[in-house]
């Protein structure tokens, strides 16, 4: 007869905390192993006083929150679970979840055993009890990589190459967490669809250089274009590049403008081929894969 090791634990695959430089804002990224359970959490957690916004992107559930503590005022079926506190220190982020009944199970064992959790404490949960769980995560920063022009008229596809490279370079120091295709203005020099690609990593501060070097090496090895562009943005909010991106999505722009935009916004130019124009334009659509494929928004 089959048996289950732990029939009431559905453990999250990964949980990460990406923080703003001042530690006032935190994006909690939870990689679920059960979409239905993650969707239930999204509904209830989003009502919490610390949550600024929330969304799901595939298997990832993301909560933009304020650091601090809050009274959840839990109520069965209305607000059954939530994020009770988010404490940011120099190197770590401590998150406390609370929930009623099954929501308490999610708040405790399901998250305490997730990948990349440093340590945790949990209370009893399930039934009619209020369960609480605290997890401690390494404090991470956002690394955004934009790429364009890796293919030719006869072979290649930038979005697939970039995804496969990202999977290959994923590591505890720099976790691959999102991918988006970005529709650009169809210039005459396009390969086919005039789409660039952006990927996002949640990285330990000062620990992403090895990943970026490996990413560049693989990109240069497998690109079939001589005009590949690669740009990197290190920062919590890549929106300073949005005006430039929207311009690239509505008209043809000169290469010199891309170079000047990189200088002004602090984006790092890693590969300076003509594809740099689209690589930079992809960056502000990090973790926005639905909006990014539309010709205009």
Does a structural domain hold residue 270?
Answer: yes
Cα 180 to Cα 200: distance, rounded to the nearest angstrom: 9
Does a structural domain hold residue 8?
Answer: no
35 in Cβ contact with 59 (< 8 Å): yes
Provide the percentage of residues in the chain whose pLDDT is more than 90. Answer: 71
Same domain, 171 and 91: no
pLDDT confidence band for 29 (50 / 70 / 90): very high
Give the domain-ending residue among 139, 171, 188: 139
DSSP of 27-90: EEEEE-S-HHHHHHHHHHHTTSTTEEEEEEETTEEEEEEESEE-----BTTTB-EEEEEEEE-S
Same domain, 153 and 286: yes
- pTM score above 0.85: yes
Per-residue pLDDT at 192 exceeds 70? no
62 in Cβ contact with 55 (< 8 Å): yes
The β-bridge partners of 202 are 142, 175
Does a structural domain hold residue 9?
Answer: no
- Six token digits for residue 13: 């695959």
Structural domain total, the chain: 2
Of the listed ranges 23-27, 38-42, 166-170, 179-183, the one predicted with least confidence? 38-42
Same domain, 55 and 179: no
Question: Residue 175 belongs to a domain with what CATH number?
Answer: 3.30.70.2200
> Is 201 strand, coil or helix?
strand
Does a structural domain hold residue 102?
Answer: yes
The residue range of the domain holding 226 is: 149-293
pLDDT at 146: 98
Same domain, 112 and 64: yes
Cα 280 to Cα 267: distance, rounded to the nearest angstrom: 8
* Residue-averaged pLDDT of the chain: 90
Does a structural domain hold residue 3?
Answer: no
Give the domain-ending residue among 105, 139, 173: 139
Give the residue ranges of DSSP H helices in the chain: 35-45, 102-107, 109-112, 158-169, 209-222, 242-248, 255-265, 276-282
Same domain, 175 and 234: yes
Same domain, 159 and 193: yes
Same domain, 76 and 153: no
pLDDT confidence band for 102 (50 / 70 / 90): low
Cα 125 to Cα 142: distance, rounded to the nearest angstrom: 34
Per-residue pLDDT at 224 exceeds 80? yes
Tokens 């990014």, residue located: 292
Does a structural domain hold residue 132?
Answer: yes
Does a structural domain hold residue 6?
Answer: no
End-to-end CA distance of the chain: 55
Per-residue pLDDT at 105 exceeds 70? no
Same domain, 153 and 133: no
Residue pLDDT, tens place only, 245-278: 999 988 889 999 999 999 999 999 999 999 999 9
Cα 174 to Cα 144: distance, rounded to the nearest angstrom: 11
Comparing C-alpha atoms, which of 102, 100, 98 is closest to residue 85?
A: 98
Count how many residues are written for the chain: 297
Q: What are phi and psi of 228, to 5 degrees?
A: -65, 135
Same domain, 125 and 173: no
Same domain, 47 and 174: no
């Amino acid at each position: 007869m089959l048996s289950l090791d732990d029939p009431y634990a559905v453990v999250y695959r990964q949980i990460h905390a990406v923080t703003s430089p001042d530690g006032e804002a935190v994006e909690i990224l939870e990689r679920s192993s059960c979409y239905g359970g993650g969707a239930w959490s999204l509904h209830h957690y989003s009502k919490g006083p610390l949550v600024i916004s929330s969304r799901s992107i595939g298997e990832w559930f993301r909560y933009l929150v304020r650091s601090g503590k809050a009274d959840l005022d839990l109520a069965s079926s209305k607000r059954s679970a939530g994020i009770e506190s988010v404490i940011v220190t120099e190197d770590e982020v401590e998150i406390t979840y609370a929930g009623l009944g099954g929501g308490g199970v999610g708040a405790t064992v399901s998250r305490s055993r997730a990948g990349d959790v440093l340590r945790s404490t949990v209370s009893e949960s399930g039934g009619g009890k209020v369960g609480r769980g605290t997890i401690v995560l390494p404090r991470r920063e956002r690394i955004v990589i934009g790429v364009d022009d890796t293919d030719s008229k006869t072979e290649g596809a930038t979005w697939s190459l970039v995804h496969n490279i990202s999977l290959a370079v994923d590591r505890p120091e720099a976790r691959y967490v999102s991918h988006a295709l970005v529709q650009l203005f169809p210039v005459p020099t396009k390969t086919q669809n005039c789409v660039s690609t952006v990927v996002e990593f949640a990285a330990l501060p000062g620990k992403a250089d090895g990943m970026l070097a490996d990413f560049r090496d693989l990109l240069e090895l497998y690109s079939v274009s001589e005009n590949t562009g690669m740009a990197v943005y290190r920062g919590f909010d890549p929106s300073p590049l949005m005006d430039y991106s929207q311009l690239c999505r509505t008209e043809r722009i000169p290469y010199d403008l891309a170079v000047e935009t990189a200088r002004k916004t602090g984006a790092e130019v890693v590969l300076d081929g003509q594809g740099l124009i689209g690589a930079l334009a992809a960056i502000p659509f990090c973790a926005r894969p639905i909006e990014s494929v539309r010709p205009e928004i």
